[in-house]
């Protein structure tokens, strides 16, 4: 039985808000709701772009894009199952990015101000999630998760060996070209993942990860999109002050105006 549309919208947004590390998630009144037949589409802001291909086989699947999110052509979202949610946060910019979900009640959440130039997010399972924090930067040919419906069992106990299949990528993390993030991986905030790395396991914040499987190569670092000479120069730059801080404040104000509560009180770099 299909859920009533209002219930579906509320449940999807609660799910995103409850799980996501993203601190800039607009409340329900921000969105215009469209019934697309095979899925429900929530759009915030007038100048939203539509992905090239959305194919959802099943029921109660929801696609949400936040304020001014640019989900460009050449993006393809394929979902087979029920109750799945795909979320792209405010001011996110996504091109040539695929989301493939096979199963029920899964969530792929891509944070506010995050960008992706060609990535694939894959989930095969039920109740799993891939969470990408705010302001992440995904380079080209990145794979997150795994489309194989693989479960490994211990032959003695009969229990699952690989319990963890959810992926969590912290705020402001830079994934370089051809990185693979395996199911179960947790990447901390302000981290750099080097080219071609295969990330498994749990990693702290402010590090450089590299290699296959990846290990921590350097600790105590941070990065920026600009090539400024120092963090101080970066924080003084127009790029940071206007394009990020001012836009973020606008989103925070928008969320507050709509009766929501932004949780972004941290001083982000």
Q: Which residues bind other proteins (CB under 8 A)?
A: 137, 174, 177, 192, 194-197, 206, 208, 210-212, 220-232, 234
Q: Which is nearer to other proteins, 63 or 209 (CB)?
A: 209
Q: What single DSSP character describes residue 131? A: E
Q: Which is nearer to other proteins, 163 or 219 (CB)?
A: 219
Asked if the peptide bond before residue 33 counts as cis, ω within 30 degrees of 0, the response is no
d(CA 16, CA 13): 5
d(CA 264, CA 249): 10
At 233, is the secondary structure helix, strand, or coil?
A: helix
Alpha-carbon Rg for the chain, nearest whole angstrom, is 18
CB of 27 to other proteins, least distance (A): 33
Query: Distance from CA of residue 159 to its chain's centroid?
Result: 30
**Residues 176/154, Cβ–Cβ less than 8 Å:** no
Q: Which is nearer to other proteins, 3 or 223 (CB)?
A: 223
- The encoded tokens of residue 17 equal 């808000």
Q: Which residues pair with 197 in a beta bridge?
A: none
CB of 174 to other proteins, least distance (A): 7
Burial of 163 (0-12, 13-18, 19+ CB in 10 A): exposed
CB of 149 to other proteins, least distance (A): 27
CB of 117 to other proteins, least distance (A): 12
Provide φ and ψ at 38, rounded to 5°.
Answer: -90, -10
CB of 85 to other proteins, least distance (A): 30
Q: Which is nearer to other proteins, 22 or 224 (CB)?
A: 224
Q: Which is nearer to other proteins, 30 or 209 (CB)?
A: 209
Q: Which is nearer to other proteins, 36 or 239 (CB)?
A: 239
């Amino acid at each position: 039985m299909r859920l009533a549309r209002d219930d579906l919208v509320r449940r999807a947004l609660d799910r995103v808000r409850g799980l996501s590390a993203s601190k800039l998630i607009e409340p329900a009144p921000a969105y215009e709701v469209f019934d697309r037949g095979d899925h429900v589409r929530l759009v915030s802001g007038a100048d939203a772009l539509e992905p090239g291909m959305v194919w959802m086989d099943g029921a109660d699947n929801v696609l949400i894009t936040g304020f001014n999110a640019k989900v460009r052509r050449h993006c393809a979202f394929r979902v087979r199952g029920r109750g799945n949610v795909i979320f792209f946060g405010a001011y996110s910019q996504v091109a040539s990015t695929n989301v493939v979900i096979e199963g029920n009640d899964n969530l792929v959440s891509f944070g506010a101000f995050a960008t992706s130039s060609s990535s694939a997010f894959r989930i095969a399972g039920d109740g799993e999630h891939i969470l990408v924090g705010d302001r992440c930067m995904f380079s080209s040919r990145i794979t997150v998760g795994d489309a194989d419906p693989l479960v490994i069992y211990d032959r003695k106990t009969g229990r699952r060996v690989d319990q963890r299949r959810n992926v969590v990528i912290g705020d402001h993390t830079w994934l370089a070209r051809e990185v693979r993030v395996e199911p179960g991986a947790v990447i901390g905030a302000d981290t750099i993942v080097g080219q071609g790395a295969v990330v498994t396991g749990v990693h702290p914040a402010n590090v450089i990860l590299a290699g296959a499987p990846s290990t921590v190569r350097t600790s105590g670092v941070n990065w920026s999109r600009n090539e400024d000479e120092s963090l101080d120069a970066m924080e003084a730059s127009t790029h940071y002050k206007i394009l990020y801080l001012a836009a973020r404040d606008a989103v925070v104000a928008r969320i507050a105006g709509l009766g929501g509560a932004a949780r972004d009180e941290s001083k982000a770099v």
